[in-house]
Amino acid sequence: MNLSALLSRLDPGRVFGIGGGVHPKTRKSLSARAAIEPMPLPPLLRVPLQQHIGVEAEAIVQRDDLVLKGQLIGKARGPVSANIHAPTSGRVIAVGHFAAPHPSGLPVPTITIRPDGEDRWGPRLPRLRPETAAPDAIAAQVAAAGIVGMGGATFPSAVKLNLRDRYALETLIINAAECEPYLTCDDRLMRERAEEIADGAAIMAKALGVKDILIAIETNKPEAITAMRLHDVALGYKIRVKTVPTLYPMGSEKHLVKALTGQETPARALTAELGIVVHNAATAHAVHLAVRYGEPLISRVVTVSGRGVARQANIQALIGTPVSDLLAHCGGLVGEPERLLLGGPMMGQPIQNQRVPVVKGTNGILALTKAEARTDAVMPCIRCGSCVHVCPCGLMPFEMNARIQADDLEGASKTGLMDCIACGCCSFNCPSNIPLVQAFNFAKGRLAERKSREHQQQETKRLAEARQAREAAVAEAKRAAMAKRKAEQAAKKKKADEAKAAKAAAAAAAKAQEGAS
Amino acid sequence: MIEAALSMAALGLSLGLMLGFAARRFHVEAPAILQDIEEVLPGTNCGQCGFPGCRGAAEALAAGDAPVTLCPPGGRPLVVTLAEITGVEVPPAGGAGAVVEEAPLIAFIFEDHCTGCTKCFKRCPTDAIVGAAKQIHTVIWDACTGCDACVQVCPTEAIILRPKPRTLRNWYWDKPDEALGAGEAA
Amino acid sequence: MSLALSSGPHTHSMFTVSRTMIAVMTCLAPATLIGFLHFGLPALFLFVVTIASALAFEVACLALAGRPIMRFATDGSAVLTGWIVAMTLPPWAPWWIGVLGGGIAIVLGKHVFGGLGQNLFNPAMVARAMLLVALPVQMTVWVAPMDPNSGPGFVEALAITFGSGPQIDAVSSASLLGEVQSGLDAGQPLSALLAPEALSRQLWGGVPGSLGETSAIALLAGGLCLVLLRIITIVVPLAVLGSLFTVSAIAWTIDPESYLPPLLHVASGSAMLCAFFIATDYVTAPLTGLGKALYGTGIGVLIFVIRTWGAFPEGVAFAVLLMNACTPLIDAYVRPRIFGRTRAGQPLEIRGKA
């Protein structure tokens, strides 16, 4: 045990500092007082087959199939993938493509369901008794329920629960920091369903085989802290509720681990290498539902906020509900919003099309007005260094941006581009309003593209060589066949010649004989 | 006066001798880069560089007769590698003589026009076109290098090159426009 | 619906270029006003002329470069540059010195390098150094501060700034540092040169000198405001004043008769203006805390060296320019540690787990 771990044991309330970070206006009060409310069934549900990091699920229903609530409609493919379930009962009206809830709006494989209004459950997953269940069984149940990280990263949770095989794990951290401004879905979930979250956390701890559970909540959520403190024992596990300072990006996995334990995760490594696994609070809630009740992940709490929407709310929305229906349920938009976002204002993604669906990783829908959004004109960099000052990763964003602008992507990557977590602190604070994060996202994408092209080039070379070898083999075979034929013909000719010669010789001999006789 | 001239001449002579000696003594054979160049070229002999095959291009590069930007299918990564091998400066992207870094082109077959003549797949250097006689041919995206060979042999002009379609996997943000700070009048 | 489609973050802090510039100017205002009180209307005229010249040259350069004039000229950076140039000029200098100063700062100090954010050297200090070298007479004629009521009237002031100024000789005087240097050069001991109330006069500003050299207290207060507003960090001022104080204290302890006392060093000349308003210029200073400390220390030491052994009585401009030249080097070597990596850039080792 190292010094920082020892210190955190000695003083359980101790929180370590992280470098950098910013204090954006949280504006959580817009929706923090709105209790989680259900929503009437929307007329259509569009369920994308890829709502997670990894390989997309495979559709196992066809057009005109009738599906029941909770029925498996997309099957996970490979180890890093996730099941997709029907959010309600109804008829599949299309298995095709629809715009992704993504800034590009590119079409992605989507199953469209017209609900029949009965919301009839199909057979649920077999329930597990977490008290007696084996860790493998819990992880398998989580995988069957299609649970992914609900904080936005959408990494299949079962994969993370299986990390116990490879690492010596000690601690489970439930990430309830919710450092993004505006978002209150985790806050409301903790206030209203603290017991379920605690139970889900304990189930996950059991699956991971760890004894120590921490739940990290930012200081600006006192009600949630109180609620979680009331329910800090589950399945015989004691859950330590830790308050962390309100500082963006406290919810970044590696920074949260640093703040709670003082340990810094090495670059390009997993927190599991430190013996720590981090899961989101909403994920814990989904695990509770999946294990105790056999309910797959078919709905989630979504914060609808921003001053561009008539009524700010926290809504229990079915996966696949179009954004437009959620907005309409909240009284619609007030005028034309400046930005329409999925997720928080710091790392959320803008969308072009209001009909895109809510997916497993959608924690918020924000309609930002001009006054809330970043609209100032871009000015030249004045080297004020505020980006360097606030970067939680210790990078020099202005310098990386200058390199990217000069097309020196290799240089940018040497100065730390791949260590950037795209948290947005630099752009948030930039007095010249330079779109630093966009430049970094561009550079990361371009570098990945180059890498794949390089790979393709090697592949091309291999293919070309294979083709040349094949052509050479074919030519060789032809030549061999030709030579064989030639040889045969030559042999034939020779034989014929020999026969002729023999004949001639015989004739000559006969003649000679005749002559002699 | 004479001494000065003599001593300068002697100094010059001896230094010159030393230089000459050093040039012979420490002579380094120029590395054979032809092999290296040939190894990094795609090897498809597509002919877009204007040289007879990749071997010809490699010879021209090694002799310094061709720019490192000569190979369109290689793209910018190849330019950088070639520049490293031949020891020239990497031409800045966007500058004169640079390869414009754009989405890679791949062949696309209009199936309505395709007669199934098999000319294209016989010609394809990477076997990226699949099909058989009298059947519609299709292109395997990942294997196509956009070398244009098939387009030229198609008798019905059913093949065009177009940018590789974007998917969520290869989509990324555009480079932010920072021309605002550097010249363009608003 | 047309939505702006750009990557996050979609919200922004209140911090912008022009707000920063305005904050700096506000903090600079008290010292400037005290300067006007001491040196009367000619100082005000020169101040206005210098800023107007800086702004005019900025607009001209932007027009030549084909850049958006309204957006860039209104960001406040040209006005601030002109302001700082004016602060370093002799208050009763003729108008064309102000025009020249503003022009050199904006054209040679800033736009030749590519405009806002691109310049290697502090524009105001480029102007100050060039004027000092090219026009040593006009740049070292100081007037003694006067009672606000007995200063030159409006017409007289116009004549001082815009006419040929024969009256200057009548009021000319030497700044403390100049006086001390020439005195020491003549072999006089320091105790004979320094009046007992020299320090307090330096602090409050009742001394001959440029506009920005007069009231150390007002500059200190403005500078601390900047620190409190988080426009600048305390590192650079602390390093500049701290190193100047330390070095001069050592020298003074060794030989009090030939070296000025440290407090006087810190309070006189444009040391205070430099520490809070010039050396802290974003564009030309290093970015990291350690880099800033090195840079500030360098400036402080150089100020002492130039003042004590150099040909000029005041060395702020040269010290700043010399350290500006070191800024790229400092930034290349002094970098923050990347999260999860060692200073050398390798991923951290996992302690106690390997």
Interface contact C71-A379, CB threshold 8 A: yes
CA distance A77 to A417: 32
Q: How far is CA C185 from CA B49, C258, C259, in A?
A: 75, 10, 12
Q: How close does chain B come to C116, measured CA to CA in Å? A: 9
**Whether C67 contacts chain B with CB within 8 A:** yes
Give the strand pairing for A364-368 and A299-305. parallel
Give the whole-angstrom CA distance, residue A16 versus residue A218: 14
Query: Are C338 and A380 in contact (CB < 8 Å)?
Result: no
Instruction: Please judge whether C282 and A383 are an interchain contact, meaning their C-beta atoms are less than 8 angstroms apart.
Output: yes
Half-sphere exposure of B146 (CA within 13 A, CB side): 17
Taking CB atoms and an 8 Å cutoff, what residues of chain A touch C72? 379
Nearest CA in chain A to C7: A438
Q: Find the residue in A nearest to C118 (Cα).
A: A382
Strand arrangement of the beta sheet that strand A58-59 belongs to: A58-59, A72-75, A84-85
Q: Which of A404, A449, A450, A454 to mutate to test the interface with B (most CBs of B within 10 A)?
A: A449
Upper half-sphere CA count for residue C329 (Cβ side, 13 Å):
7
- Nearest-Cα residue of chain A relative to residue C110: A382
The closest CB to that of B170, out of A441, A449, A463, belongs to: A449
Geometric angle at alpha carbon B38, from B34 and B39, rounded to 5°? 120
Q: Model confidence over A23-40: pLDDT tens digits?
A: 999 899 999 999 999 999
CB atoms A383 and C71 under 8 Å: no
Chain A hits for C335, Cβ within 8 Å = 396
Q: Say whether B43 and A438 touch across the interface (CB within 8 A).
A: no
Chain C residue nearest residue B182, CA to CA: C67
Rg (CA), chain A: 33
- B98: pLDDT confidence band, cut at 50, 70 and 90? very low
- Return phi, psi of residue C211, to 5°: -50, -45
Q: Which two tokens stand for residue C221?
A: 């207060």
Contact status of C344 with chain A (Cβ, < 8 Å)? no
| Chain B residues within an 8 Å CB radius of A405 | 178
Kindly indicate the confidence band of residue B181, based on its pLDDT and cuts at 50, 70 and 90: very low
CB contact under 8 A, B183 and C7: no
Which residue in chain C has the smallest CA separation from B177?
A: C6
pLDDT tens string A275-298: 999 999 999 999 999 999 999 999
Is the Cβ pair C116, A393 closer than 8 Å? no
Contact yes or no for B181 and A378 at CB 8 A: yes
Closest residue of chain A to B181, computed from CA coordinates: A380
Residue C7 contacts B where some CB pair is shorter than 8 Å: yes
- pLDDT of C34-64, one tens digit each? 888 888 888 899 999 999 999 999 999 999 9
| Neighbours, chain C (3 or more CB pairs < 8 A) | A, B
pLDDT at residue C352, as a whole number: 53
Angstrom distance (rounded) from CA A122 to CA A171: 36
Residues of chain B positioned with their CB less than 8 A from the CB of A469: none
Question: Which residues of chain A lie closer than 8 angstroms to C283, CB-CB?
Answer: 382-383
CA-to-CA distance for C68 and C203, rounded, in angstroms? Answer: 43
| Distance from C-alpha of C13 to C-alpha of C230, rounded to nearest angstrom | 13
> Mean per-residue pLDDT for A293-311?
94
Flag residues of chain C having pLDDT under 50: 1-4, 166, 170, 353-354
- pLDDT tens-digit series, residues A224-243: 999 999 999 989 999 999 99
Beta strands in chain C, from DSSP E residues, in sequence order? 142-143, 172-173
Q: Which of A368, A373, A379 sits opposite C75 (nearest CB)?
A: A379
| Average pLDDT estimate for B66-86 | 80
Q: Which residue has the tokens 């991971």?
A: A208
Question: To probe the interface with C, which of A382, A398, A400, A442 has the most C CB atoms within 10 Å?
Answer: A382
Say whether residue A376 is in contact with chain B using an 8 A CB cutoff: no
Which residue of C lies nearest to A255 if distances are taken between CA atoms? C339
> Do residue B173 and residue C7 have CB atoms under 8 angstroms apart?
yes
Q: Chain A contacts of B175, Cβ < 8 Å?
A: 404, 439, 442, 446
Q: Does C65 touch chain B (CB under 8 A)?
A: yes
Q: Which of C49, C222, C212 is nearest to C142 (CA)?
A: C212
Nearest chain C residue to B173, by CA? C7
CB atoms within 10 A of CB C342: 13
Q: Is the pLDDT of residue A54 over 60?
A: yes
Nearest residue on chain A to B165, alpha-carbon basis: A106
- Please give the pLDDT value at position B183: 33
Residue C175 CB contacts under 8 Å (≥ 6 apart), including other chains: C142, C207, C208, C209, C213, C268, C269, C313, C314
**Which amino acid, one-letter code, is at C52?**
A
The per-residue pLDDT for A186 is 95
Mean pLDDT computed over B26-49: 76
Averaged pLDDT score across all residues of chain A: 90
| Interface contact flag, B126 A465, Cβ < 8 Å | no
Q: Tell me the DSSP string of B14-62.
A: HHHHHHHHHHHHT--PPP--HHHHHHHS------TTSSSHHHHHHHHHH
Q: Assign B54 a pLDDT band (cuts: 50, 70, 90).
A: confident
Residue A424: pLDDT band by 50, 70, 90 thresholds?
A: very high
Q: What is the pLDDT of residue B99?
A: 47
Q: Is the CB of A104 less than 8 angstroms away from the CB of B168?
A: yes
Contact A108 B142 (CB under 8 A): no
**Alpha carbon distance C354, C54 (integer Å):** 62
Which amino acid belongs to residue C252? W
What confidence tens digit (pLDDT) does each residue in B101-141 have?
556 788 888 888 888 888 887 888 888 888 777 777 778 87
Q: Are A320 and A87 in contact (CB under 8 A)?
A: yes
CA distance A313 to A201: 26
CB contact under 8 A, B175 and A404: yes
A102/B168 CB distance under 8 A: yes
Q: How far apart are CA A444 and CA B172, in angstroms?
A: 8
Please answer yes or no on whether A450 and B176 come within 8 Å at the CB atom: no
Across B118-136, b (16+ Cβ under 10 Å) vs e yields: ebbbebbbbebbebeeeee
Question: What's the rounded mean pLDDT across residues B7-32?
Answer: 85
- The ipTM of this complex is 0.84
The residue of C11, C233, C337 whose CB has the most chain A CBs within 10 angstroms, and thus the best one to mutate to test that interface, is C11
Asked if residue B171 has pLDDT above 90, the reply is no
Cβ–Cβ < 8 Å for C118, C72? no
Q: In this structure, what token pair is assigned to residue A228?
A: 């979680």
* Chain C neighbors of A267, CB-CB under 8 A: 338-341, 347-348
Query: Strand B138-139 relative to strand B129-130: parallel, antiparallel, unpaired?
Result: antiparallel
